[in-house]
A and B are shown apart, each in its own frame.
Chain A
Amino acid sequence: MDEKERLLNVLKAVPVDRPPVICPGGMMSACVTEISDQVGGGHHSETKAMVSAARAINERIGFENYGVPYCLTSEVEALGARVNIGNNLIEPRVTRYNDLPLETIMENYAPVDVTTGRMGVVLAAIAELRNNRVPVIGNVSGHISTATSVVDPLEMFKMLRRDPERATRFLTFISDYLIRYALEMVRAGADVISISDPTATGDILGPRNFQKFAVPYYQKIIAALHQEGIPVILHICGNASKIVDALNEVKANAVSFDSIVNMKMAREGIKTGLMGNVSTQLLHTGESSKIVSITRYALHSEVDIVAPACGLSMATSISNLKAMTDYVKEGSYH
C-alpha cells in the first residue's frame, strides 16, 4: 500500500495496514532549520524551494505526505496585513494588521486574485508536487485565524459580542475567500486540504462562541471541498475537550488535536477520523526513547493518523522527528 492510498483510505474510513504518519504543512510545518538550510531558504516565497523542501521532508524525515506551504501568512498578506517572511530560524509572522475599517477591507479586497502572489507560488508548488504515490496536502488557514491576523484580534473578539452581525459579515467574507483559495489548491492537484485554525481554540473562544462563529464556516468550506471529492483535515489548537461535540458537526474527515487533549478520551467522543498528537515540545527537546513512548501512546489511543500535535519549533532535529516516523512505520500492527 503506498502513502497516497493509505492516507486517502484512512480519510474515507477504509481499513488500512497501519496508520499513516504525516505532517500536513501550514502551521504544522516540518520545514525545520535543518531542512530549510538544505534547500537554501526561499521556501516561503519561491516555488522551486517550496517543492524541494516538501520532498526533503518526505524523504529525509519520513513524513508520508507532501504539504505546502509552511506558514499561514500568504492568505493574510494578500488581505493587506504586513508580514515578515522570517528566515531559516524564524517562521513568517504578521507584523502589522490592516487597520482599515472592515467594510473598506471587504470592498477593497473582494476582487483579490487567489492565484497570484505567494498564494500563486503555493498553487504552482502543488501542481509540481502532484503525483501518484505521495499524497499532496494543501494547507489553508481557518477563517478565525485569518480574520484575527488581518485585523487586530482583540477588536475582532470583542466584535463577536458587541456587533455579531458585523463580525458575521466579515467572517463570511474571509471564509468565502478561503474557499476560493482551497478550491484553487484542488484544481492545482491537492489530494487533501488541511485547515488549521489555531486561534479558534475553545480556550480562547469558549464553546458558545465556537458553535456560533466557527462551526458553520467549517461546515461550509468542508462541504465545498467534499463536493469536489476532496477529504479535509481540521486542526484545532489548545484544549478542545469542550468542543468535541461541535467538531463532530463539521464533518471533517479527520480532526487533529493539540497535546493537551487526551486522545483516548478524544477517541470516545470523536466520530470522524482522529489525528495527532505527539507533543511538539517533546519533539523539540525530548529524548528519542520518550518520543517513541508518546508515539506508542497515540497509536494505542487508536488515532487514525499519527502527526505532531501542533506547530513544530524550527529548531526541532530531523533525528527526533525520525524517531517518531520510524516507530510508526516499523511497529507491529498485525
Chain B
Amino acid sequence: MDKETLFREISHALVEFEVEKVAELAQETLRQNISAYETITEGLVTGMKEVGRLYEEEEYFLPEVLMCSDAFNAGLDVVNPHLDKDSLEKPIKMVIGVVEGDTHDIGKNLVRILSGASGFEVYDLGRDVPLDRFIEKAEEVGSDMICMSTLMTTTMDGMKIVINRLKERNLRDKYKVLIGGGPISQTFCDKIGADLYANDASSAVRKAKELMGRA
C-alpha cells in the first residue's frame, strides 16, 4: 500500500470508528518508515476534520464523535513515540472548563476532544471550576486562550466576572476568551466582551484556529 493510500485508509477507518484498524494501519506506516508527523497530519487529523464536518452537518452525533476520537487516539498512541518534536508547529494552548456552579460538561468535553485532535495543547480544569482558577492556570501554563462553558443561565455571569478580573489584572489582552454553552449567544459574547462565541464544538475549534491565525 503506498503512502497516500495508507493515509486515506487511516482517515477512512477513523471516520468509521474502527479503533483497531486505525492502530494497525498506524503500525504499517512505521514499518514503511513514513514520518509520524505526516501520518498524524495527513491521516489522523484529516480523518478528524471529516468527523467535524459530519458533526456540523448532523450526520454524526456525540456517540459517533467519541468513538472516532478513540480511534484517533489509538493511532496517535502508536506513532507518537516516533514523532520528531522539532517538526511540530508550536501548538495553541488552551485552558478550558465549566464555570463554577455548573457541572454539565458534555459540551466542554467535546470541545476538549476535538481541539486536542486538531493539535491544541489543552488544559482541562473540569467542571464547577472556581473563576480565579481559569486565570491562574492560564498564567501558569502560558496559555493562548481561556475557554469557558456553561449550560445554565445562573452561572453565565461567571464568564463576565473572569473577563473583568482579567481586566483588573491588566491581563485581558494576553488571552483570547472563548465562550459557549446552551444559553450563550453572540449577543451575550459581545455584551461581556469575550473574543469568540461558538454554538457547537466543531465550529468552536475551527473559529479558534481562525482567531489564532492558524486556519
**Chain A residues within CB distance 8 Å of chain B:** 90, 93-95, 153-154, 157-158, 160-162, 199, 203-206, 209, 238, 242, 280-281, 284-285, 311, 313-315
Contacts and interface: CB of A to CB of B under 8 A. Distances in A.
B70 interface: yes
B66 A154 contact: yes
Contacts of B60: 206
A16 to B, nearest CB: 32
A281 B153 contact: yes
Contacts of A154: 66, 106, 109
A203 B61 CA distance: 7
6 contacts: A94-B103, A157-B62, A161-B67, A206-B64, A280-B153, A285-B153
Contacts, number: 54
Contacts of A205: 61-63
A311 B70 CA distance: 33
A311 to B, nearest CB: 8
Contacts of A314: 154
Given A203-B61, A238-B182, 8 more contacts: A90-B154, A94-B103, A158-B63, A158-B67, A206-B62, A209-B63, A284-B153, A313-B153
A315 B152 CA distance: 11
Interface in B91-119: 101, 103, 106, 109
A285 B154 CA distance: 10
Contacts of A94: 103
A158 B70 contact: yes
B61 A206 contact: yes
Interface of B: 17, 58, 60-64, 66-67, 70, 101, 103, 106, 109, 128, 152-154, 182-183
B63 A281 contact: no
B72 to A, nearest CB: 13
Contact of B101 (A90, A160, A206): A90
Contacts of A161: 17, 63-64, 67
Nearest to B152: A313
A95 B106 CA distance: 14
Contacts of A95: 103
A209 B61 contact: yes
Closest 3 A-B residue pairs measured CB to CB? A206-B61, A157-B63, A313-B154
A205 B109 CA distance: 15
Residue from B62, B106, B109, B182 having most chain A Cβ neighbours under 10 A: B62
Contact of B67 (A162, A199, A281, A315): A162
A206 B58 contact: yes
Contacts of B154: 90, 284, 313-315
Contacts of A153: 106
A266 to B, nearest CB: 18
A35 B103 CA distance: 23
A117 B66 CA distance: 35
A311 B182 CA distance: 12
Contacts of B109: 154
Residue from B60, B70, B109, B152 having most chain A Cβ neighbours under 10 A: B152
A93 B58 contact: no
A157 B66 contact: yes
A154 B106 CA distance: 8
Nearest to A213: B63
